[in-house]
Structure 1
Amino acid sequence: MRIDLRPVHDSDLPVFYRQMTDPEAVRMAAFTPPDPADRSQFEDHWKRVRSGALVRTVLTDGDVVGNVAVYGEPGEREVTYWVDRSHWGRGIATAALRALLAEVPERPLYARAAADNAGSLRVLEKCGFRVTAHASGFANARGEETPEVVLRLEA
């Protein structure tokens, strides 16, 4: 299995939309837009992301399977990623995040994940992130306050 990153193409957006409206994936991610199915909100989000973040499409054997990004202000930049649920558990998110981190020499970097999202926490820890704090925030996908973990990647 070959995993590559490339800049986001307009043709990737319908794939991302389908992935980001998968109810099980949305629930696991927890901290999502209020209505992931709102197409205009999705389009606005991606317009902002593509103009202000380093964002890459994740390809597995040439197929679009997700995205990975670094965003935010210097000194507070965070990573984020999304992999199609049908590809979970195959090391794709870990490989994609490692490849992105190789493109971004800046440290520290931060990440957040729902405390019960064991898969995402494993990805982050395999990539060198360490837990620095525990917090709680309103998770739109769950409709309730949800514990989250804050992680940091040092130089």
Structure 2
Amino acid sequence: MEIALREVHDSDLPVFFRQMNDPEAVRMAAFTPKDPADRDAFDALWKRIRASDAVARTVLADGDVVGSAAVYGEPGEREVTYWVDRAYWGRGVATSALRALVTEVPERPLYARVAADNEGSLRVLEKCGFRATARARGFANARREEIDEVVLTLRG
């Protein structure tokens, strides 16, 4: 399977919206918008992302849109985020996409936050060179409770 990143196109947004409304994926991601089904809020978020200095990319698998990946935030505090359609979990898509993204964005350090029980995302981040540097607790909208999270850092 060939994994590639490209600029986000308007036609990608309905696919992202559908992916971000998969109940199992939302629960696993944990830190999601209050109401993932709010299309107006989703559109406003992507409008802000695309107008900012974030590096936002569409993830393609053999040419099909299967997710998104981005680096966002203030210099010195920039974070990575990614979302891959659940049908592609466990197939190396997220790892390949994140590797490509961190190669494209040479700025360091980069940070990531992940629910402590999201073993798949922890593995993806570690395979891409991120290392756990802190633990925290945060309110997870998708679970409607405070949960443990791991903060990871990619240096040099």
Q: Percent identity?
A: 77
Match of 2:57 in 1: 56
Q: Which amino acid aligns with 2:13?
A: L
Match of 1:68 in 2: 69
Match of 1:87 in 2: 88
TM-score, structure 2 as length reference? 0.99
Q: Indicate whether 1:136 and 2:137 are aligned.
A: yes
**Distance in 2 between residues matched to 1:105 and 1:31, nearest whole Å:** 26
Cα RMSD over matched residues? Answer: 0.4
Aligned length in residues? 155
Aligned residue for 1:34, secondary structure, equals coil
Alpha-carbon deviation of 1:80? 0.2
**Distance in 1 between residues matched to 2:125 and 2:56, nearest whole Å:** 17
For residues 19-44 of structure 1, the C-alpha deviation after alignment (integer angstroms, 9 at most, x for no partner) is 00100000000000000000000000
Alpha-carbon deviation of 1:51? 1.4
Q: How does 1:2-151 map to 2 (within 5 A)?
A: 2-52=2-52, 53-151=54-152
TM-score, structure 1 as length reference? 0.99
Q: Specify every segment of 5 or more residues in structure 1 that has no aligned partner in the other structure, as ranges.
A: none
**Distance in 1 between residues matched to 2:138 and 2:126, nearest whole Å:** 21
**Distance in 1 between residues matched to 2:150 and 2:50, nearest whole Å:** 26
Alpha-carbon deviation of 1:133? 0.3
Q: Which amino acid aligns with 1:72?
A: G
For residues 29-71 of structure 1, the C-alpha deviation after alignment (integer angstroms, 9 at most, x for no partner) is 0000000000000000100111111000000000000000000
**Distance in 2 between residues matched to 1:79 and 1:12, nearest whole Å:** 19
For residues 64-114 of structure 1, the C-alpha deviation after alignment (integer angstroms, 9 at most, x for no partner) is 000000000000000000000010000000000000111111100000000
**Distance in 1 between residues matched to 2:49 and 2:25, nearest whole Å:** 20
Q: Specify every segment of 5 or more residues in structure 2 that has no aligned partner in the other structure, as ranges.
A: none
Q: Which amino acid aligns with 1:11?
A: S
Aligned residue for 2:74, secondary structure, equals coil
